[in-house]
Amino acid sequence: METIFAPWRMEYIKGDKPDGCVFCKCSIRCDDYVIFEGKTCFVMMNKYPYINGHLMIIPQRHIGKIEDLALEERTEIFSLLDTSIRALKEAMNPGGFNIGMNLGKTAGAGIEEHIHVHVIPRWEGDTNFMSVVGEVRVIPEDVAITAAKLTPLFKKNHQEV
């Protein structure tokens, strides 16, 4: 039997859950995981990812409804989506992507008060027996290492809108 270690999860499981929005600069945002700052939005590694390279595109403004996005924010979200895909392809060579938003608690939003877009790279066969049978996800690379690979690629690939 193999042993799989994911030590970064224990910090979250046992740690205090701070008040406030984890995405807001004025609060407790995890700046170590922010890999790109745009004019109205930023890109952040998911600290507790579904799979390696799981990114989130997040408006700087604290808003919970897509219909409250300004045109500039909407435009930048799609520009950063393009940049995210380019950077992930170059760094990790995924076979495809899941891209989506969970709007509202009923839809599965873990942080419904601050909208964000998930960008999840996928590989053929990346859902293995661990997730299917054991209900465990295996993330083969530390999130900080993935962030270090992607950060320069965002600077290289991003085009201002």
Cα→Cα distances 98→15, 94, 117, 118, 160, Å: 29, 11, 10, 8, 24
Q: Is the pLDDT of residue 11 over 70?
A: no
> Among the options 62, 116, 118, 158, which is catalytic?
116
Active-site residue 54, yes or no?
no
The domain over range 8-157 is classified in CATH as 3.30.428.10: yes
Q: What residues does each domain of the chain span?
A: 8-157
Which residue is it, tokens 């609060």?
27
**Tens of pLDDT, residues 30-51:** 667 899 999 999 999 988 787 8
Whether pLDDT at 93 is above 60 = yes
Q: Which residue has the higher pLDDT, 21 or 134?
A: 21
Greater pLDDT, 84 or 4 = 84
Q: Is the pLDDT of residue 10 over 70?
A: no
The predicted pLDDT at position 129 comes to: 44
Residue 99 scores a pLDDT above 80: yes
pLDDT of 28 above 60:
no
Query: Chain-wide mean pLDDT for the chain?
Result: 81
Distance of CA 41 to the CA centre of its chain: 13
Question: How is residue 108 written in tokens?
Answer: 């599965």
Position 16 scores a pLDDT of 66
